[in-house]
Structure 1
C-alpha cells in the first residue's frame, strides 16, 4: 500500500466547486480510433500503470492522509466514454467540448481518471481527451499514463496489487505521523528562512527580505520585487472553463533561440509575455510593472523518488510592460537566469516539508482557508506558464498516428485565471490555454496572439541577421 504524501493530499484538500484539480491532455489523431481499441489497449496495459487501477481509501475522521489501494474491479466503460462533434467538427468546437469536460470533478469513489474518445473532427481526425486528478499525477507521471496507450507494446510491466490497509494499521501510522510533524516544521523553518524572500506568498510577508538576509551564511544575488500587480486575471475563479490550443513551429522557436543566444524555455516565456501584453492592452488593463508568473518544475531527481507529486514552483517576472519584442525576450532570459541560480541553492524538499509540518486532520482546513484568503486578498502570481519537453519523433496510439498533444491544465484562486502550458512533440510546440470562463472569456484570442508573437520574433531574427550581413560586407 502507498500513502498519499502531504503534497498529494493538498490537491485533494484544495479542491472545491470552483478550484478543480484536474490535469490532462488532448491528443489529436490522424484518423478515427474506435472506443473498443482504446478499451483493449487499456486492459492490456493497466497492470503497469497504478494510476489507472487505484482508488482512494480514507483514514477514519481524516486523522491521516488517504491511501492508494487497488480496486477490486475497474469498469473501463465507466472511465472511457465517447462522443461525436456535430459538423463541421472544427478546432473551436473541440476546444469548447474539452472545456466543459475539464471543469467537471472526478468521482472519488473510483480511480481518479477519465478518458473521452471524440469522433467527428474535420478531416477524418479523432481526439482523445484524458484527465487525471492532480493528487495522482504530476506532469511527469501524467505523461506516463498517456504512454500506456502508445505503440509499440512495451516490455511486460506489472505492479504488485496494493490492498487497502487495515483500520488499526492506519491508526498506528497516523499516530506516528502526528509525532513527526514538529520535526518537519523545524526542518522547513531551518531551510526556508534563508530563502524566504524567493518563496511564493512568504516573500510578501512583512520583514521576509530582512529576515532572509539575516539568516544567510553567504550573500546571494538580490532578486527583484515579486509583488503581483492586480489585473483582470486575478481573483476567485468560477466553476466554468474556457480552453484553446495552438500549434507553433518548434523549428522556428529554435531559430529564434539560436539567433538571440537564449533557451527554448526563454522563448516560450517571452511568447507568453507578448500574448499577455496584447490581451491586457485589448482590455485596457496593462500594468506599468511586470507580471509575476509561476513556473512549475519537477524535483524528482533532487528528492530521489518517483512516488507521488514531485513538483515545485519558481516565480519570475514576465516583462509585459516592455514594448519591444527583442528587449522583452532579453528581459525574460535575464529573469530566468537569476531565478535558476537562486533555485539551484534552494532545498528541493521545502514544499514537501511545509506540507508535512501540520497534522493531517488540520491540513484540509488550513489548505482551504489559505487558498481562500490568499486568492481573495493577495494572489502571489498572475499566471502559470509551463514548458514540457516531449519526444521529437512520431508516436502512434493503437496503430493510429498521433498528430499533436495539447496540455489541459488547471486554474485556481491563487494561481490566477489563466494557464499557458506548452508541450514539444515531433518538431511542434503544442500549446494549451486553460482559463476561467468569467475572468478570461476570450481565451481563444491567445491562439492568435501567440502566433503573432512568434512571427514578431522571427522578423526581429531576420532583421538581426541582415544587420550582421551588412556589417560584415
Structure 2
C-alpha cells in the first residue's frame, strides 16, 4: 500500500500545459527490434519493476497525497508503441520526433510510462524512447528501471526464480478520508517542529539562505545551540538570459556523444573530477551559445544540480533527490580558469550539502497540507517564473555502466537522457549519462527560447576540445 511522498506529489502538482514532469531516455540500438519480442520481454520483467506496474489512486477531495495502486493487467499494447521515420531517417529527424513525444503529458489513468520503438533510423539502427513520470522515479531510479529491462549479453536472462512482491491494495475511500483528515490535523505541529530544527541552518538551505536576514537569524540560533557554521556560499542572483522566464509547451531536443577517455584525460591532467569536467564543458558551451545570442553576462549563471540522497546500493521507491544551486562560470573566458572555478564551486556545494542534508526539503514538504500543495506549487512556479527565476539552467551527470548492454538481443549503442525544463529552472536542461566508454549528453530546450538545440550540442564538443588543447599544453 505505497503512498506518494510529498516530494513525489510535487511533480504531479506543478504540471501545467507548459511545465511537464516527464523524464526519459533515448536509446540507440544496433539493428531492428520487434515490438512483439519487446512486449514479451516486458511481460516477464515488469512484475519485478514496481514503478512500472503502479497507477495513481487519488484521495477524495485531495485531502492527502495519492496512493499507488498495483495494476495487475497491464495493457502493453497501450504502453508499447511504434512509429517510423521517413527517409533518410537521420539523427535530426529522430530528435524532432522525440521533441514532440517528450512534450506530451502522460495519462494519469494508466501507469505513468510509455515506450516508443522508432524505426527507419539510418545506418541499420533504431531508436527506443522510454518516458516515465517524475512522480514515480528520480533520475537515478529511472536509470535503475531501464537497467531492469536490459541484459549484459545478447541472450535475454531468464526471470528471477523468486516470486515478485505484490503491493497491498490502497485503503478504501472512507479510510483515505480519515487518514487525510488526521494528517491535516497534524500538519501545524509538524511545521513547528520543522521550523525549530531548521532555524540554526537557514543560511545553509538553498534559496532560503538568500533571503535577507537569514544569516543573522541562523547565527543567533547557532550561538544558542553552541553549533558551528557551514561553508560560506556567495549570493547567487541569476542573471537574465534568453532562456530565462516562463517556458512554452514546445520542446527541442538534441544529443551528442563525447569519448569518456577524453573527459578522463582532462580530469587527470588538471586533477579534478569527471563531474567537474562535465560542468566545465557545459559552462563553456553555454558561454559560446550566449556569445552568439545576445552576449555573455558579467556574472556566473546559476545552475540547478540534482544530488542523489540514495545510499550506495539503495533502490528505494520514488524521489530521493535534492536540487542544489551552483555558480557556473560562463563569464570566465579562459577554459582552464573556468574549470578551476567550477571545481571550487562544486566542492563548496558538496561541503555544504554534507552539513545541511536535504532531508529538510522533504520535511518541509511533508509539513504542508496536501490539499494546498497543488495550488501552492502552481502559483509559486507561475510567480517565480515570471518575476525572478532563481536558476538559469539545469545540469546533471548520471554515472552508468561501462560495458555493453542489450535489449532483446539488440546491442545498446548509446543512451541519451531527455529531461525536464520548467518556468523556474530555465529553458535549458543538459544531462549527461556515461555508458560503455562514452559520455552521452541530451540537451532539452524550449523551442521559442533556444530554437536550435543542435547548436548547443555542438558547442559542448567545442568546449571539450578547448580543455583538451589546454591539457596538451600543460608543462611536462
- TM-score band by shorter chain is over 0.9
Is the CA contact 2:137–2:317 (under 8 Å) kept in the aligned structure 1?
no
- Please state if 1:118 is matched with 2:112: no
Matched position secondary structure for 1:123:
coil
- Does 293-302 or 13-22 show the bigger shift? 293-302
Q: 2:200, 2:339 → 1: CA distance? A: 30
Matched position secondary structure for 2:458:
helix
Instruction: Report the Cα offset of residue 224 of structure 1.
Output: 1.0
The residue aligned with 2:203 is 197
Matched position secondary structure for 2:343:
helix
The residue aligned with 2:160 is 155
Residue correspondence of structure 1 range 295-334 to structure 2 within 5 A: 295-301=305-311, 306-334=316-344
Instruction: Report the Cα offset of residue 72 of structure 1.
Output: 4.7
Q: 1:161, 1:5 → 2: CA distance? A: 16
Is the CA contact 1:302–1:348 (under 8 Å) kept in the aligned structure 2?
no
The residue aligned with 1:75 is 75
Residue correspondence of structure 1 range 140-289 to structure 2 within 5 A: 140-151=140-151, 152-153=156-157, 155-156=160-161, 158-216=164-222, 217-289=227-299
Residues 364/383 of structure 1: CA separation in 2 closer, same or farther (3 Å cut): same
Instruction: Report the Cα offset of residue 303 of structure 1.
Output: 13
The residue aligned with 1:16 is 16
Instruction: Report the Cα offset of residue 66 of structure 1.
Output: 0.5
Q: 1:385, 1:156 → 2: CA distance? A: 40
- Please state if 1:380 is matched with 2:386: no
- Does 287-296 or 138-147 show the bigger shift? 138-147
Q: Which runs of 4+ in 1 moved over 6 A?
A: 302-305
The residue aligned with 1:471 is none
Matched position secondary structure for 2:430:
strand
Q: 1:452, 1:275 → 2: CA distance? A: 7
Q: 1:312, 1:377 → 2: CA distance? A: 24
- Provide the aligned C-alpha RMSD in A: 1.6
Instruction: Report the Cα offset of residue 175 of structure 1.
Output: 2.4
Instruction: Report the Cα offset of residue 155 of structure 1.
Output: 2.5
Instruction: Report the Cα offset of residue 233 of structure 1.
Output: 1.4
Residues 396/450 of structure 1: CA separation in 2 closer, same or farther (3 Å cut): same
Q: 1:302, 1:401 → 2: CA distance? A: 28
Superposed CA offset, 1:34-76 (max 9, x none): 1111111111111101222211011111011101001252111
- Does 406-415 or 66-75 show the bigger shift? 66-75
- Does 94-103 or 162-171 show the bigger shift? 162-171
The residue aligned with 1:337 is 347
For residue 454 of structure 1, the aligned residue among 439, 464, 467 is 464
**TM-score for the superposition, normalised by structure 2:** 0.95
**Count of residue pairs brought into register by the alignment:** 466
Q: 2:271, 2:313 → 1: CA distance? A: 31
Is the CA contact 1:85–1:118 (under 8 Å) kept in the aligned structure 2?
yes
| Structure 1 portions without partners, runs of 5+ | 469-473
**TM-score for the superposition, normalised by structure 1:** 0.95
Is the CA contact 1:288–1:321 (under 8 Å) kept in the aligned structure 2?
yes
Q: 1:458, 1:330 → 2: CA distance? A: 15
Q: 2:422, 2:313 → 1: CA distance? A: 26
Residues 445/110 of structure 1: CA separation in 2 closer, same or farther (3 Å cut): same
Instruction: Report the Cα offset of residue 198 of structure 1.
Output: 4.2
Matched position secondary structure for 1:3:
coil
- Please state if 1:421 is matched with 2:441: no
